[in-house]
Structure 1
Amino acid sequence: MKMLIKKITTCWFIHLLIVWFVTVSYVVISYVYEVSLHGNYHFNQDGSPVSAWQYFLNHTFRYDMLVLAFALLLAEINYQILFKMLKWALFILSCLIFAFVAFVILALGHPRTIEVFGLLSGAGPILFMALYALVYALVRDYFYQYNRKKDLDLQHSQNELDALKAQLNPHFLFNSLNYLYGTALKENAMQTADGVDKLSDLLRYTVNGMQHNEVALTDEIHFIKNYLSLQKARIPQKKSIKVSVEINVAEEGFKIAPLLLLTFIENAFKHGISMDEECFVDLCIHVKNGWLNLQIVNSIVKTSSQLKHSNTGLATTQKRLELLYPDNYSLKLDDNHTSYSASLKIKLNI
């Protein structure tokens, strides 16, 4: 909610500055041109001509400008909150309602106008403000979709580049892992063979997955389970170290951006596990009604600085979330100095 209020306020202020500058500049330039051409000054009460600066101030600090600011705020709220929620007919109706509210406030400052021309005098301004709110929403959405597509294309190209960088010599790497896997089997080292097999799957998924914007959710969950298995294998069995994992993904057919969840899980193990002190990692992943929920809490060990080391990865992940799931995700991070928690909800695609 705070982010939405900040976004509305920032966009409204920029919008207001642009409209105010264009409107006042047009009025003042027209006045200066009229004076220079015909000498048609406006005059003060003392008979002195109104200068361009006075004309500028008179048109800047007036009731109409306050109403304009309010009307633009309504247009911004209409776009940010209602445009993506309502159907076309309802959105047009909301534009008319907001325009009517703005006109009523405008009429309060000009009661004489209503007395002379009647309430029908508001039809023109109401329709104009409603049309402006509608066109503003359409233009904003067009540029938003255009920039989002451009960012997605850039992200996809970056993913492909990262994948290519990772493929220093994948055949050599996988052949080496296959050799180690076969050697472990011959030596009857089943635990080692299982670890090599899981590591091979992890690397193969990392190389291949990042070439796509989306992968099957089942593949992503399989990847996470392999990652967790390797983490548990490297952590000694000690009472001071507690790792709790609950993964319940019964719904099938969904897709997700590859390696999107790994950042949070990796940070939890990296900064929450210590061999020398009490520590824990609690992970829960489940899917319900098309929404994926990830809850992960970990201790913050004394030898770790959670925020210092994880800012870069989290910033990149948040950027991916904004690009791939705009308005379809929520992320809450909490650091209370003894534990760190991440709560992520994503509306999955089919």
Structure 2
Amino acid sequence: MLTALKKLLTNWTLHFLTLWIGIKAISVISYVYHVHTWGNYIKNDDGTPVTAVQYATNPDDRLFFVALLVLLTEVVRQFIFKKYHFIFFIAGCLLTAMISTAGIVYERPHVFNQKAKLTLIEPILYIAAYAFIYIIVRDYYLQSKNRQLQRIQQSENELHALKAQLNPHFLFNALNYLYGTALKEKATDTAQGIDMMSDMMRYTIHGMHENFVPLQDELKFMENYLQLQQVRLPVKDNIEISTQIVFDDHNYHHKIAPLLLLPFIENAFKYGISMDSQCEVQIKIAVAGNELQMDVFNTIVQNRVEVNGNNTGIKNTIKRLDFLYPDNYRLDHKNTGLGYNVSFWLKLSS
């Protein structure tokens, strides 16, 4: 909630300043043109003509009206537009216009006292049209900007995906496991492991060229990853791993950005597993309707000798979420000193 209010305040400030500067600029230009064409018609108390600078900086009773209009417009854009049926968006624009018009009546009643009451409809229509056009144009601009950023991000991903998306340390350990199994057994387990690795590499190569992939492919990739993580680790009393992926056939028509879940789970194994200390990793992924919920927990291994990373994978994933799922995801993480929790919610696309 605090994040939403902070975002609303930021958007309101930028919108208000832009609109107010535009209104004042038009007013000053009109004033200067009038003075140049017909002479000065506004005087100071001492009789001297009001300059353009004085005209621009004089108190203006439109300030309250503009601030109210911008606030209501941003509320409609952030909390109603694209979140509810289009008719609610239209109703929000009309309500914005009616409340703003009431503000005009309060601030400048003389404007309407000089005219027929039916002229109240005019500002309502103009303001509703402004709110409607502003929100549509702003959304189109943001979508275009996001598409451009996605193309740039995708180009970077294509260069780095193979070496960055899967931890090389994990790959070497998994291959060592397959090699050891091949020496001890005659093929069944080894073939299964190689098949899982082939599926993972195939998915990685395919996924880096796509913005969205079928949800079932992403979940299958995560199942393979978790199985290989568990078999490559030794069976020890101090290591406890719990994984669960819950979904059904009704969810298969949904799509998701590829390799979106991996960085959070990879970090749990990277920083939460110890060969000597008591450690635990818990992972649950559940899909219900068009919503995906993932909860990841890992103990924080004390006195690690490895050098900690800079969480580049997590940072890049958050950027992708902002580009691909604006306002359609929640990510919370908590470090208790002994354990690390990640809670991730995502509204899936079809």
Which TM-score tier does this pair reach, normalised by the shorter chain?
A: 0.7 to 0.9
| Amino acid across the alignment from 2:124 | I
Question: How does 1:23-62 map onto structure 2 within 5 Å?
Answer: 23-58=23-58, 61-62=59-60
The reply to whether residue 344 of structure 1 matches residue 340 of structure 2 is no
1:314–1:185: structure 2 CA closer, same or farther, 3 Å change rule? same
The structural deviation recorded for 1:74 is 1.0
SS in 2 for 1:245: strand
Cα 1:163/1:333, change in 2 over 3 Å: closer
Structure-2 separation of matches of 1:249 and 1:191: 26
Residue identity opposite 2:285 in structure 1: I
In the TM superposition, 1:179-198 aligns within 5 A as 184=182, 188=186, 194-198=192-196
The aligned residue for residue 328 of structure 1 is 328
Q: Which moved more, 1:10-19 or 1:186-195?
A: 186-195
Q: Identity over aligned residues, as a percent? A: 44
Which residue of the other structure, out of 74, 78, 93, is the alignment partner of 1:80? 78
**Would the aligned equivalents of 1:330 and 1:345 in 2 still touch at CA under 8 Å?**
yes
Q: Retained in 1: the 8 A contact 2:297–2:340?
A: yes
Aligned partner letter, 1:79:
R
Tell me if the contact between 2:296 and 2:343 (Cα under 8 Å) persists in the aligned partners. Answer: yes
Moved more, 180-189 or 17-26: 180-189
8 Å CA contact 1:260–1:317 kept in 2: the answer is yes
SS in structure 1 of the partner of residue 5 of structure 2:
helix
CA deviations 1:31-83 (Å, max 9, x no partner) are 2333344432411234332222221122xx32211211111111111122212
1:163, distance to aligned residue in structure 2 (A): 5.6
Give the TM-score normalised by structure 1: 0.84
With the length of structure 2 as denominator, give the TM-score of the two structures.
0.84
Q: CA deviation at 1:322?
A: 2.4
CA distance in 1, matches of 2:235, 2:179: 24
The farther-off stretch of 267-276 and 202-211 is 202-211
| Structure 1 equivalent of residue 137 of structure 2 | 139
Matched, 1:21 2:21: yes
- Residue 20 of structure 1 and its aligned partner are, at CA, apart by 1.5
Q: Do the aligned partners of residues 337 and 191 (structure 1) sit closer, same or farther apart at CA in structure 2, a change above 3 Å counting?
A: same
Distance in 1 separating the partners of 2:181 and 2:235: 26
Residues 111/300 of structure 1: CA separation in 2 closer, same or farther (3 Å cut): same
Residue range with higher mean Cα deviation, 15-24 or 200-209: 200-209
1:296–1:186: structure 2 CA closer, same or farther, 3 Å change rule? closer
- Contact preservation (8 Å) 2:284, 2:294: yes
Q: CA deviation at 1:345?
A: 1.9
List gaps (5 residues or longer) in structure 1: 167-172
Q: Which runs of 5+ in 2 are unaligned?
A: 165-170
SS of the residue corresponding to residue 3 of structure 1 reads helix
Judged with a 3 Å threshold, the aligned counterparts in structure 2 of structure 1 residues 138 and 218 are, in CA distance, closer, same or farther, namely: closer
Q: Distance in 2 between matches of 1:105 and 1:306?
A: 62
Q: CA deviation at 1:291?
A: 1.6
Summarize deviations over 1:204-254 as a string: whole Å, max 9, x none. Answer: 332233233333333322222222222222323232221111122223333
Q: Distance in 1 between matches of 2:339 and 2:38?
A: 75
User: How many residues are paired up?
Assistant: 337
Worse overlay, 303-312 or 318-327: 303-312
Report the Cα offset of residue 319 of structure 1: 1.7
Q: Is the 8 A contact 2:40 2:49 kept in 1?
A: no
Q: Map 1:1-350 onto structure 2 (within 5 A).
A: 1-58=1-58, 61-117=59-115, 119-162=117-160, 184=182, 188=186, 194-251=192-249, 252-303=252-303, 309=309, 311-350=311-350
Distance in 1 (CA, whole Å) between partners of 2:118 and 2:205 is 67
- 1:170 corresponds to which residue? none
